[in-house]
Amino acid sequence: MRKWMTPVMYTLIGLAIFFVAIQLFTNTSSFLTSIVMMIGIAALLYGAIYFFFLRNRGFGGGTGGNRNDMKKYKQAVKQSKQKYKQPSPPVKKTNAAKTPAKSSPFSKKKRKRTNTPQLRVIEGNKSKDKNRATF
């Protein structure tokens, strides 16, 4: 069945190209307007199909898990930015009459200690029969 299908397809494609070329040379303005109309209709159909069917799928092939993964990723990025946020540089005042800074032993702010990362120990399967300390 496949052997007779190939020449038929090549013949149809060749005829289509032949008739497109004839219409391009004989009736150029009508040909161009019909091409623009076909492109516009194809774009509208693609937009409608994308809007109603493909938009909510995500990129994971419609599994739905990709959207949840992306939501978790964005949440993790947000938390990371909050944790490692750089303090903004202090703004210098350019007044002619500067006020002297008060110095007292209690005026220094304590730096807030950042949380250490949560580390977890993963125990592996260690063989007990190899003891290299004793030969």
Where do the domains of the chain lie? 2-58+67-80
Q: For residue 34, what are its two tokens?
A: 């019909």
Reference 24, options 9, 37, 34; nearest CA is 34
Residue 61 has pLDDT above 90, yes or no: no
Residue 101 has pLDDT above 80, yes or no: no
Q: Which residue has the higher pLDDT, 30 or 113?
A: 30
What pLDDT digit, counting tens, does each position of 26-53 carry? 999 999 999 999 999 999 999 999 888 8
Rg (alpha carbons) of the chain, rounded to whole number: 36
Q: Which residue has the higher pLDDT, 132 or 123?
A: 123
DSSP 8-state code for residue 27: -
Q: What is the mean pLDDT of residues 10-36?
A: 92
Residue 92 has pLDDT above 70, yes or no: no
Cβ-based neighbours of 67, under 8 Å, separated by 6 or more: 58, 60
Question: What is the pLDDT confidence band of residue 87, given thresholds at 50, 70 and 90?
Answer: low
What pLDDT digit, counting tens, does each position of 65-76 carry? 577 888 889 999
Q: State pTM to two decimals.
A: 0.35
pLDDT recorded at residue 132:
63
